[in-house]
């Protein structure tokens, strides 16, 4: 699967996951298995306001073979993407949880974090790009 | 006129606003939760932004994400619809702070009318009859003194209230302490505001409301009244009609005059509705809703005025294109709310997938809906699937037309209020017209007993 | 009033009649072919009889089975709708012979108006302007003499004609012989009647028709005119509106007066339509349709009159409940026919299963349809799936409303005329209003060339 | 299958047959096979009027095992059933093509014929009963 397909499928599955009210969803399709887990904090209506909600919703996608785990970091706000300077690029190795970018909403900078180490396999967005809730920002090979 | 409007709502009212915008040549931006991705309101808008997951606190009530979507997409105005943020003065203020026109009255007016005790005081000052009662009572002792003066039965009401929450009927002094505690706790939990006031309890009044439009240049008109007395035991409206049947002409005119006078007195702008309790020859102001109402189509059908377009025109600074004398009515209109609810089980809401959806058509029938065959009804939101509205030359012909419209309606996959409403329409007492708010709960009890 | 009416039709008009009957408290009996067993018109009627297999000759034109169904079920009247047996005088006569009221004019009037040459002569006698032309011509030589006198171009027309069959334009004497032979053969094949007459060919006229109602007590009113100039190359109407745009007031009034005068002169009763060709300041009577028209809703929407109910009331012997002075119009209405046809392939009809069906709603939109998601379109019948009608205060607002209504419409499974009609509505020439019958074929040619 | 079921299925299949425009339709369902053939004269729109149309539409239904052929004779007009006197009854043996009843339509008696011999296994209608087009009248074991 290409990264585009991963992103598209992850988003579609995330929608289905939310609608169904489940925390985990696994789909096998030929050689490929995609597994999505709801980010631990992103539970129904528990957070009083989105800015205090936990870090971005996560969509984990596993392709096999080969044994590879791709995690998609998505935006949990509507806003404008602000990349770091220098920007995190594709291929970049992350040695643990770190900031990848901000999404700016009404002047507030909402940090986007990697929540773990790995290699940035795809950057879905560019500087200044508007993003909606749930829009994939980065894919990370764990 | 605006270039682009963000519609801060979902469901049929989001579609309704989308229609008005498109007919005015205004582009639209929809917002949606992840549970509404397949909804018609998303499909018909020019642009659409996902603003959060299904639960309303994180999506349709998510002010930063909604305002951000409006700014990113280059909107110059926001239409809030009804429910959600429609009567949230803070939201109107934030929109304004970001250079977005809020399509509704000013935040100050929203705020004043949103606080029920303040609204009542302002209306009384404007000479509007209000239910005998108190300002905010500090504690149960004060409530007891006031209640004794008014005379039982009384109602304890939350000043921040709405939808029957934080409201308790008290029929005798010994019930007061418990009722006060319950109402206060409920109001605190629902609105984070436990303040209560006391009102005379009017037994089985009719719920009659007057539609007004006010522009920003001093133009104020009313568009007659609607009778919304057919309410579920939860006080939610189910069937509405216009004009109100069997209303004394003098009383009807008094309602209209009071409504326009009050509208001017509070400096109201845009579309609004003044709700009254009517009993015998008396009328009492209840509250003013500072937004478009669910049941606005019955007024549109008999006046030939597009209320949502008027809202947008007024917010864009236009003067009303007509005066009171230009307005006249034709016939009688009735609306039935088709809800995904089980009338045989306390109107318990139902979620699921609509396997079959066939709506009525033909002359004199209007359908406002966001559902279609194969659509899912998410569990997070209001259970209304559609509004069916029928217009006829007379009340009887409108009712007959509604009966055939309901007979044509087929919705499968969830339980609905269609058959229940058909039973209501067939009832001789309803048919005679002019029943009070206690009628429908009594009808429901009779019907349940008969089953 | 009748107790029970047999509806001798199918599709949207059968539903339309069913609605009118039910709103009048009259029971209904549907007929259906085996191909229509699942149709909505069957489901909504009080009783239903299968009258034959799919092909129309054996079902919807099967007079003995239809009359028998009416008698067996205890009907006292038959409503024929449009098409099928609606203008069959023999059917009206047989119904009458069996004690059934035919909802329409008398067999004699149907017969006289059905024969185009007779109708033209009767109208000319009543002082109605008719196209210069002949009575029936016995042979090609007579046709040649007459054509020379009238002046080319001329039209050869079948006296039994309809729908453009047995009609040929002749631009010069040398084309006459071939055209005569073709028209005669076509008319013979289509109507078993090869008689032709000659008429002056009016180049690119407007097709404007006047709706009349006449009761059996001498009451006659008109309900204004409809402009039906937007016709496919096959002369079938596609988009209709009321009132006709850019019509000189004097000419409009002349049309209306002529229509009511002619209606009286021919002893017409029930609902009827007089079709005229209009060019410049001239008008010519074309034909009178002795039935309800497909496009009747545009008139209903601006007059607030239910024409089908009026048909039934008149046939039941009631006097019209209003005079000409009681009738007035509000706004402008437009109708789009949603056909299962491919506009990019000569409007070839399409049969199949409708996988998705979403119709528009909201203010000012009326939908008359018999289809729904999952319905099949049988290959035997007319390809019309629905009529979408929009009403607004002005022509422009009605068109804009129609544009948003078409944008909301989603029909999948067969090709339809929806997108094509949306393109028509967007065209500046259509928008300007008042185009002739040659406009749509020219637009189609331009559009095809552009693709 | 009971006769009721045979009649109901035969009618449903007859509808499908007409809609599809085919002359023959065979449906296998478990042990049962139902075969329908359009009556030879009952072709699309060929007959100018129903009274001159050929004999009633036929639906042949074959149940196996046991080897049994049931043919349903249906009405091809809308009218009132007139049984013969004495009436053809269930169990009656027919030694060839013969009249079974009439269906009266506007005073005209449309004969219903057996189109062959066999045993009348079911009489679906009674004297004076109104019937529509395609309504089963008799079932005959061939």
Specify whether A90 is located in the same domain as A115.
Answer: yes
| CATH number for the domain harbouring residue D123 | 2.40.50.100
3-state class of C212 per DSSP?
A: strand
Cβ-Cβ pairs closer than 8 A, B with C, add up to: 90
Task: Search chain A and give the residue with CA nearest B95.
Answer: A106
What tokens were used for B451? Answer: 């089953």
Residues in chain B with CB shorter than 8 Å from the CB of A15 are: 34-35, 37
Whether the pLDDT of residue D9 is over 70: the answer is no
Nearest to A50 among B62, B73, B98 (CB): B62
Backbone angles phi, psi at C169, to 5 degrees: -85, 140
Tokens 């229609």 belong to B19
Residue B371: partners with Cβ closer than 8 Å, 6 or more residues away: B40, B354, B357, B377, B385, B386
Question: Any idea how long chain C is?
Answer: 451
pLDDT at C153: 94
Q: Is residue A107 within 8 angstroms of chain B, CB to CB?
A: no
Closest CA to C170 of C124, C133, C138, C195: C133
Between the alpha carbon of residue D104 and those of residues B138, B236, C7, D110, the distances in Å are: 87, 58, 22, 6
Q: Is residue D56 within 8 angstroms of chain C, CB to CB?
A: no
Whether the pLDDT of residue C54 is over 70: the answer is yes
Q: Give the CA diameter of chain A.
A: 45
Specify whether A40 is located in the same domain as A63.
Answer: yes
Say how far apart CA B240 and CA C332 lie, in whole Å. Answer: 28
Cis status of the peptide bond prior to D65, with omega within 30 of 0: yes
Closest CA to B21 of B11, B32, B6: B6
The alpha helices in C107-236, defined as continuous H runs, are: 107-114, 116-125, 140-150, 176-191
- The total of structural domains in chain D comes to 2
Say how far apart CA C357 and CA B172 lie, in whole Å. Answer: 58
pLDDT at B65: 97
Say how far apart CA B252 and CA A47 lie, in whole Å. Answer: 48
Q: Is residue D130 within 8 angstroms of chain C, CB to CB?
A: yes
Residues in chain B with CB shorter than 8 Å from the CB of C306 are: 363-364
Cis status of the peptide bond prior to C153, with omega within 30 of 0: yes
Catalytic site residue from B16, B168, B291, B337: B291
Say how far apart CA B63 and CA A77 lie, in whole Å. Answer: 11
Specify whether A9 is located in the same domain as A62.
Answer: yes
Inter-chain touch C52–D133, beta carbons under 8 Å = yes
Question: In the structure, do chain B and chain C come into contact, i.e. share 3 or more CB pairs under 8 Å?
Answer: yes
Number of Cβ within a 10 Å radius of residue C447:
15
Q: Is residue C378 within 8 angstroms of chain D, CB to CB?
A: yes
Task: Search chain B and give the residue with CA nearest C364.
Answer: B366
Catalytic site residue from C291, C337, C366, C395: C291
**Cβ contact C263:C214 at 8 Å:** yes
Backbone angles phi, psi at A52, to 5 degrees: -95, 0
Specify whether D105 is located in the same domain as D46.
Answer: no
Backbone angles phi, psi at D70, to 5 degrees: -110, 130
pLDDT at A79: 97
Chains with 3 or more CB pairs under 8 A to chain C:
B, D
Rounded to 5°, angle at Cα D65 from D62 and D66: 85
Task: Search chain D and give the residue with CA nearest C67.
Answer: D106
D111-139 tens-digit pLDDT: 999 999 999 999 999 999 999 999 999 99
Inter-chain touch B53–A42, beta carbons under 8 Å = yes
Specify whether A7 is located in the same domain as A67.
Answer: yes
Q: Give the CA diameter of chain D.
A: 45
The long-range contacts involving C116-122, CB below 8 angstroms and separated by at least 24 positions, are C116/C157, C116/C158, C116/C159, C116/C160, C116/C161, C116/C197, C116/C287, C117/C159, C117/C195, C117/C197, C118/C159, C119/C287, C119/C288, C120/C197, C120/C285, C122/C265, C122/C266
Nearest to A105 among B37, B57, B65 (CB): B65
Tokens 């008290």 belong to B170
Residues in chain A with CB shorter than 8 Å from the CB of B72 are: 78-80, 130
Backbone angles phi, psi at D67, to 5 degrees: -65, 110
Say how far apart CA B71 and CA B31 lie, in whole Å. Answer: 13
Specify whether D10 is located in the same domain as D57.
Answer: yes
Q: Which of C19, C297, C384 to mutate to test the interface with B (most CBs of B within 10 A)?
A: C19
How far is C-alpha C227 from the geometric centre of its chain's CA atoms? 12
Chains with 3 or more CB pairs under 8 A to chain B:
A, C
Specify whether D28 is located in the same domain as D80.
Answer: no
* Domains and their CATH numbers in chain C: 4-103 (3.40.50.20), 132-200 (3.30.1490.20), 206-450 (3.30.470.20)
Q: Which of C8, C52, C74, C98 to mutate to test the interface with D (most CBs of D within 10 A)?
A: C52
User: DSSP secondary-structure letter at C64?
Assistant: H
A22-65 tens-digit pLDDT: 445 555 444 444 555 544 333 333 323 333 333 333 444 444 44
Whether the pLDDT of residue D42 is over 80: the answer is no
What tokens were used for A92? Answer: 């970049």
pLDDT at A51: 32
User: DSSP secondary-structure letter at C339?
Assistant: E
Decide which of D16, D38, D71 is a domain's last residue. Answer: D71
What tokens were used for B361? Answer: 């058509």
Question: Any idea how long chain D is?
Answer: 142
Containing structural domain, residue D61: 3-71
Task: Search chain D and give the residue with CA nearest C381.
Answer: D19
Q: Is residue C96 within 8 angstroms of chain D, CB to CB?
A: no
Inter-chain touch C404–B330, beta carbons under 8 Å = no
Between the alpha carbon of residue B237 and those of residues A14, B163, B227, C205, the distances in Å are: 36, 10, 10, 54
How far is C-alpha D19 from the geometric centre of its chain's CA atoms? 18
Residue B374: partners with Cβ closer than 8 Å, 6 or more residues away: B353, B354, B355, C373
Residues in chain B with CB shorter than 8 Å from the CB of A14 are: 34
Say how far apart CA B421 and CA B416 lie, in whole Å. Answer: 10
Q: Is residue D16 within 8 angstroms of chain C, CB to CB?
A: no
A71-94 tens-digit pLDDT: 899 999 999 999 999 999 999 999
Say how far apart CA A26 and CA A35 lie, in whole Å. Answer: 4
Q: Which of C7, C23, C368, C410 to mutate to test the interface with B (most CBs of B within 10 A)?
A: C23
What tokens were used for D15? Answer: 């509808």
Q: Is residue A47 within 8 angstroms of chain B, CB to CB?
A: yes
Say how far apart CA C134 and CA C142 lie, in whole Å. Answer: 10
Tokens 């067999």 belong to C107
Smallest CA–CA distance, residue A67 to chain B, in Å, is 30
Inter-chain touch D15–C71, beta carbons under 8 Å = no
Query: pLDDT per position in chain B (451 positions), as tens?
Result: 999 999 999 999 999 999 999 999 999 999 999 999 999 999 999 999 999 999 999 999 999 999 999 999 999 999 999 999 999 999 999 999 999 999 999 999 999 999 988 999 999 999 999 988 888 899 999 999 999 999 999 999 998 876 678 889 999 999 999 999 999 999 999 888 999 999 999 999 999 999 999 999 999 999 999 999 999 998 899 999 999 999 999 999 999 999 999 999 999 999 999 999 999 999 999 999 999 999 999 999 999 999 999 999 999 999 999 999 999 999 999 999 999 999 999 999 998 999 999 999 999 999 999 999 999 999 999 999 999 999 999 999 999 999 999 999 999 999 999 999 999 999 999 999 999 999 999 999 999 888 7
Closest CA to B192 of A53, A48, A45: A48
Between the alpha carbon of residue B183 and those of residues B145, B158, C392, the distances in Å are: 18, 7, 48
Say how far apart CA A130 and CA A111 lie, in whole Å. Answer: 15
Task: Search chain A and give the residue with CA nearest B98.
Answer: A106
Specify whether A58 is located in the same domain as A83.
Answer: no
Task: Search chain B and give the residue with CA nearest A42.
Answer: B53
Number of Cβ within a 10 Å radius of residue C374:
17
Number of Cβ within a 10 Å radius of residue B1:
15
Q: Which of B330, B363, B375, B395 to mutate to test the interface with C (most CBs of C within 10 A)?
A: B363
- pTM of the full structure: 0.86
Nearest to A133 among B57, B65, B98 (CB): B65
Q: Is B313 exposed, middle or buried (0-12, 13-18, 19+ CB in 10 A)?
A: buried
Question: In the structure, do chain B and chain D come into contact, i.e. share 3 or more CB pairs under 8 Å?
Answer: no
Task: Search chain B and give the residue with CA nearest C401.
Answer: B23
Q: Is residue B54 within 8 angstroms of chain A, CB to CB?
A: yes
pLDDT at A7: 56
Say how far apart CA D23 and CA B329 lie, in whole Å. Answer: 60
Closest CA to B112 of B268, B241, B218, B220: B268
Say how far apart CA D122 and CA D70 lie, in whole Å. Answer: 10
Crossing angle of helices B307-315 and B11-23, in 10° steps, is 70
Kind and range of the H or E run holding C15: helix C11-23
Inter-chain touch D77–C69, beta carbons under 8 Å = no
Inter-chain touch C23–B400, beta carbons under 8 Å = yes
Residues in chain C with CB shorter than 8 Å from the CB of D58 are: none
Those residues of chain B whose CB sits closer than 8 Å to some CB in chain C are 15-16, 19, 22-23, 25, 40, 44, 297, 300, 304, 306, 330-331, 356-359, 361-369, 372-374, 393, 397, 400-401, 403-404, 407-408
Decide which of A20, A37, A71 is a domain's last residue. Answer: A71
Specify whether A12 is located in the same domain as A30.
Answer: yes
Smallest CA–CA distance, residue B90 to chain A, in Å, is 15
Specify whether A50 is located in the same domain as A80.
Answer: no
Rounded to 5°, angle at Cα B351 from B345 and B356: 100
What tokens were used for D123? Answer: 């009489």
Whether the pLDDT of residue D24 is over 80: the answer is no
Number of Cβ within a 10 Å radius of residue A22:
12
Q: Is A35 exposed, middle or buried (0-12, 13-18, 19+ CB in 10 A)?
A: middle
Crossing angle of helices C89-97 and C107-114, in 10° steps, is 170
Inter-chain touch D132–C51, beta carbons under 8 Å = yes
Task: Search chain C and give the residue with CA nearest D48.
Answer: C57
Decide which of A71, A94, A114 is a domain's last residue. Answer: A71
Whether the pLDDT of residue D51 is over 90: the answer is no
The beta-strand segments (E) located in chain A are 24-29, 32-37, 58-63, 68-74, 79-83, 93-94, 99-105, 108-113, 118-123, 130-131, 136-141
CB hemisphere CA count around C134 (13 angstroms): 24
Smallest CA–CA distance, residue C85 to chain D, in Å, is 14
**Cβ contact B10:B83 at 8 Å:** no
**Cβ contact C359:C433 at 8 Å:** no
Q: What is the mean pLDDT of residues C342-366?
A: 94
Q: Is residue A18 within 8 angstroms of chain B, CB to CB?
A: yes
Q: Which of C54, C68, C351, C376 to mutate to test the interface with D (most CBs of D within 10 A)?
A: C68
Say how far apart CA B185 and CA B58 lie, in whole Å. Answer: 25
Specify whether A65 is located in the same domain as A87.
Answer: no
Q: Establish whether B291 is a catalytic residue.
A: yes
**Cβ contact A8:A141 at 8 Å:** no
Nearest to C404 among B23, B304, B393 (CB): B23
Specify whether D66 is located in the same domain as D82.
Answer: no
């Amino acid at each position: 699967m290409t990264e585009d397909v991963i992103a598209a499928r992850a988003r579609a599955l995330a929608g289905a996951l939310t609608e169904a009210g489940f925390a985990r969803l696994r789909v096998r399709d030929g050689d490929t298995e995609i597994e999505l887990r709801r980010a631990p904090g992103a539970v129904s209506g528990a957070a009083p306001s989105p800015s205090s909600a936990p870090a971005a919703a996560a969509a984990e996608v596993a392709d096999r073979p080969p044994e590879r785990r791709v995690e998609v970091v998505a935006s949990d706000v509507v806003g404008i993407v602000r990349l770091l300077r220098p920007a995190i690029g594709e291929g970049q190795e992350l040695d643990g949880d770190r900031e990848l970018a901000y999404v700016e909403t009404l002047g507030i900078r909402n940090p986007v974090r990697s929540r773990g180490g790995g290699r940035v396999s795809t950057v879905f967005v560019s500087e200044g790009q508007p993003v909606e809730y749930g829009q994939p920002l980065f894919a990370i090979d764990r | 006129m605006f270039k682009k409007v963000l519609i801060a709502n979902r469901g049929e009212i989001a579609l309704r606003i989308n229609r008005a915008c498109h007919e005015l040549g205004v582009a639209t931006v929809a917002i949606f939760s992840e549970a509404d991705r397949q909804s018609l309101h998303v499909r018909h808008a020019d642009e659409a932004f996902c603003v959060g997951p299904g639960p309303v606190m994180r999506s349709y009530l998510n002010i930063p994400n909604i305002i951000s979507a409006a700014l990113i997409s280059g909107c110059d105005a926001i239409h809030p619809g009804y429910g959600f943020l429609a009567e949230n003065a803070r939201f109107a203020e934030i929109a304004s702070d970001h250079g977005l026109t809020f399509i509704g009255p000013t935040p100050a007016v929203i705020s004043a009318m949103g606080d029920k005790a303040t609204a009542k005081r302002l209306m009384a000052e404007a000479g509007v009859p209000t239910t005998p009662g108190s300002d905010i009572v500090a504690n149960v002792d004060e409530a007891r003194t006031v209640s004794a003066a008014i005379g039982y039965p009384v109602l304890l009401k939350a000043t921040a209230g709405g939808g029957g929450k934080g409201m308790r009927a008290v029929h005798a002094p010994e019930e007061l302490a418990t009722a006060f505690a319950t109402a206060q706790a409920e109001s605190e939990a629902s609105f984070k505001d436990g303040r209560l006031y006391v009102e005379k309890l009017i037994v089985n009044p009719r719920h009659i409301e007057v539609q007004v439009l006010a522009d920003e240049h001093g133009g104020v008109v009313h568009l007659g009244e609607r009778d919304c007395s057919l309410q579920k035991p939860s006080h939610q409206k189910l069937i509405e009609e216009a004009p109100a049947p069997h209303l004394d002409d003098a009383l009807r005119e008094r309602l209209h005059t009071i409504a326009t006078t009050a509208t001017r007195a509070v400096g109201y702008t845009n579309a609004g509705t003044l709700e009254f309790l009517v009993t015998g020859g008396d009328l009492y102001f209840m509250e003013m809703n500072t937004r478009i109402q669910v049941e606005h189509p019955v007024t549109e059908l008999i006046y030939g005025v597009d209320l949502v377009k008027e809202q947008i025109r007024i917010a864009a600074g236009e003067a009303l294109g007509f005066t009171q004398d230009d307005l006249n009515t034709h016939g009688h209109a009735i609306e039935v709310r088709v809800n995904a609810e089980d009338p045989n089980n306390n109107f318990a809401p139902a979620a699921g997938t609509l396997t079959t959806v066939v709506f009525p058509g033909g002359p004199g029938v209007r359908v406002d809906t966001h559902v279609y065959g194969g659509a899912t009804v998410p569990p997070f939101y209001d259970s209304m699937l559609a509004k069916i509205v029928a217009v006829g030359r007379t009340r009887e012909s409108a009712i007959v037309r509604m009966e055939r419209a309901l007979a044509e309606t087929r919705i499968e996959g969830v339980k609905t209020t269609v058959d229940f409403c058909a039973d209501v329409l067939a009832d001789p007492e309803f048919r005679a017209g002019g029943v009070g708010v206690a009628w429908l709960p009594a009808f429901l009890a009779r019907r349940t007993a008969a089953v």
